[in-house]
A and B are shown apart, each in its own frame.
Chain A
């Protein structure tokens, strides 16, 4: 094939890729707005507390793996003990911490070692002991002490010890809204036609927020440079991305920091996969496969657009890069494991839309973007680009990106309006403009390094050191 033909082919390829992405983004914006509107209609005048007097409510275990969390573990557990729900227990899994996490919890909550029976329904590292409180006020608190095995392993231990209908997997240092369990349980008991196998909620950035006694009392826009970008990113990802996929019933991921699952079905699929760093994505994909291949029932993975969980995001370039590198490796691992779903109609919308989307527009996108950039640079060098067209194309992409992010910002103001004030809005807008030249390229680099590490180095499975600074806790004064 002649050089011109190759160039034409690449031109068309990149154009089709960009045009498809553009159309997908337009579609997700439209679908999300419809879904958010529908949810707001439902929830604006709905008192979730009425569910507390329902006859048939599923029981819930909150499973929170903890590793070296002695600084904040007590406050975090107190926050969990104050959630609004009747039949729930908290299972803290001390995953072989090297600090005094366990000793602190035992002392503070009057725990004693108990002979709690459990089945090894899913594989996990040996459990050294199970602790329960002798104080009735903490009767729904259980602590599992086990050998270190990683987050997935710790969650599996929690699943083994739990005897409840559902479990809520959280990061122990997340701040959960008081009515989070009620909202997450609602889809499980609402639907007549579909079985709900998992539900997820929106996660917001808690950096710089005022936290008192484990509760967010004032939402502030982050002061950290990198955290500011992530606020918008989380808005877009949750509000525009996941809402749209949820509407299509094609949602492939429930966040590992906050997700509720049907415990029996998770056991049936073998629990969390300890061999991957993207255990959250991998579990949802496996559950979907199970529902298509084994149970063959109509099912849903639900998503609640309410901000139910607040988490600390990385504030340094180094930690952020580790996190995104891990996410990329996790995604690739999952995609490889379940490759038979790719454009396979057996798996419905998952096989025909969500999975191919993840392969092409999540995994391969950074590689294609890099290739596109290199190709464009080559064309510029050889004078093969009409400068007017190039500038117009770039302007188009920039204008669309800005509009897309502004729509996400508008939906946030329209729905929950957590960031109040012109100052925050303008800051967010400034960072929307900066994103294209700072954050997007950085994200692309992180994803590329994730690809490189996965395929060419031995670093396929590591988490890296995810240092967190903890929330700025204020003591409540009475």
Chain B
């Protein structure tokens, strides 16, 4: 019933706007007529000039001016009202939030802490206050804020309190609501408290393509839930991930220290976003067993995937063969990836080979790579840098000077 009420409000507001537009258009027509009919009554148009036959467009013009002036004045009043109301609401909101947060925090941190019985009793009291969705939004919002800012027993107690509030209906209703704001509130609660049982609805939001904002938000929430199962499901449903989504996933994985990632499945899918996520995670978590897959990806058509694969290989480099492979892909690599390759050569077992390669870069590559190569050469043999500084090329001289400058 409450979901129907939300939808009813949504459509009634839009219908009212449409009605207003229709009234304005009808008003324009009536203004240009000597008489008009409303509800069966014929009314004389006082603005119509009965003595002189004026063109129709003149009436339209007069009517437009009339409407514009009224709208201008109304707009000003609405602006003033809105600005003042917003200011007042912000003030009340701040006061209420602070008051309620202080109250709950005092309870959570009181001497002796809260027992399970206390939590049940408190939650029961709070449930009595949750007479409408506004109150539910407010209370769950406060619990969410407290949950974010606390740790240990207090944090666990807020989770128990949230569970005892029985908000499932509210959350499901808000997930189904046509308003983005409602969906966002529901998603935030699910993410913060890792609420189970909503994966299907959230996955549906993640799969829809019409609202990219909602798609990203839903993915961000999924990244806080059971990671392995969620990733496998996303692979199965072929959900696309943007670079932004990949970043959010990685951030949450690192924050929650998740390690049961299905690397193999991520790396073997056709989905570019998933592959990128797999490569970045494999690199971050040092999963060197995927070296062969990374080599395959250095030839991928997507430049970001290619770049990440090369950077992963640079991070996984161990044997001389690995270094030789890196040297081989250097020419195909992007600027960022070349940087990583150069840095990796610091630990090359064949020093002379590494030196030759780095010197080649110093002589032939753009300034940014000259500098990176010289930094590595400096750590291996400062005399080589001094020798390179004697070369004729002014760019090499400048790069050597920078690398040797202790102030930088």
Chain A: residues with CB nearer than 8 A to chain B?
Answer: 38, 41-42, 45, 50-51, 53-57, 112, 114-119, 132, 134, 163, 189-192, 264, 388-389, 392-393, 395-396, 399-400, 402-403, 406-407, 409-410, 413-414, 417, 419-422, 425-426, 429
Contacts and interface: CB of A to CB of B under 8 A. Distances in A.
A398 to B, nearest CB: 9
Contacts of B242: 190-192
14 contacts: A41-B213, A51-B247, A112-B407, A115-B401, A117-B398, A132-B407, A189-B247, A392-B61, A399-B64, A403-B68, A406-B75, A407-B75, A417-B86, A425-B79
Contacts of A134: 407
Contacts of B80: 422, 425-426
A417 B88 CA distance: 12
B38 interface: no
Interface stretch (B130-138, B155-163, B249-257): B249-257
A185 to B, nearest CB: 11
Given A42-B213, A403-B68, A117 B247 contact: no
Given A42-B213, A163-B368, A392-B61, A425 B83 contact: yes
A47 to B, nearest CB: 10
Nearest to B243: A189
Contact of B71 (A53, A112, A403): A403
B367 A117 contact: yes
Contact of A399 (B65, B243, B398): B65
A57 B247 CA distance: 9
Contact of B83 (A393, A407, A417): A417
A403 B72 CA distance: 5
A31 to B, nearest CB: 17
Nearest to B401: A115
Contact of A114 (B61, B399, B402): B402
B357 interface: no
Residue with the highest number of chain B CB atoms closer than 10 Å, among A406, A414, A419: A406
Given A119-B366, A420-B83, 20 more contacts: A51-B247, A53-B251, A53-B255, A54-B250, A55-B250, A56-B280, A114-B402, A116-B408, A190-B244, A392-B58, A395-B65, A396-B68, A402-B72, A403-B75, A406-B76, A410-B75, A421-B83, A422-B80, A425-B80, A425-B83
Contacts of B254: 53
Interface of B: 58, 61-62, 64-65, 68-69, 71-72, 75-76, 78-80, 82-84, 86-87, 180-181, 184, 188, 213, 240, 242-244, 246-248, 250-251, 254-255, 273, 280, 284, 335, 366-368, 370-371, 395, 398-399, 401-402, 404-405, 407-408
B62 A392 contact: yes
Contacts, number: 128
Contact of B61 (A393, A419, A429): A393
Contact of A413 (B61, B86, B404): B86
Nearest to B244: A190
B407 A413 contact: no
A51 B251 CA distance: 9
Nearest to B255: A53
A45 B64 contact: no
Contact of B72 (A56, A399, A426): A399
6 shortest interchain CB distances as A-B pairs: A399-B68, A115-B401, A192-B242, A117-B398, A413-B83, A406-B75
A406 B78 CA distance: 10
A134 B104 CA distance: 49
Contact of B240 (A41, A45, A118, A192): A192
B284 A114 contact: no
B398 A115 contact: yes
Given A117-B367, A117-B398, A55 B247 contact: yes
B213 A192 contact: no
A56 B86 CA distance: 37
Contacts of B404: 115
A118 B408 CA distance: 14
Contacts of B84: 422
Name which of A38, A119, A393 has the most chain B CB atoms within 10 A of its CB: A119
B380 to A, nearest CB: 20
Nearest to A139: B408
Contacts of B244: 189-190
A151 to B, nearest CB: 25
A192 B284 CA distance: 23
B72 A115 contact: no
Contacts of A38: 213
Contacts of A399: 64-65, 68-69, 72
B243 A425 contact: no
Contacts of B61: 392-393, 396
Given A42-B213, A399-B65, A414-B82, A56 B408 contact: no
A119 B72 contact: no
B407 A429 contact: no
B240 A413 contact: no
Contacts of A426: 80
A400 B367 CA distance: 57
B79 A114 contact: no
A425 B402 CA distance: 56
A56 to B, nearest CB: 6
Contacts of A410: 75, 78-79, 82
Contacts of B366: 119
Which of B213, B395, B407 has the most A CB atoms < 10 Å from its CB? B407
Nearest to A113: B407
A421 B84 CA distance: 7
Contacts of A118: 367, 398
B82 A420 contact: no
A134 B408 CA distance: 8
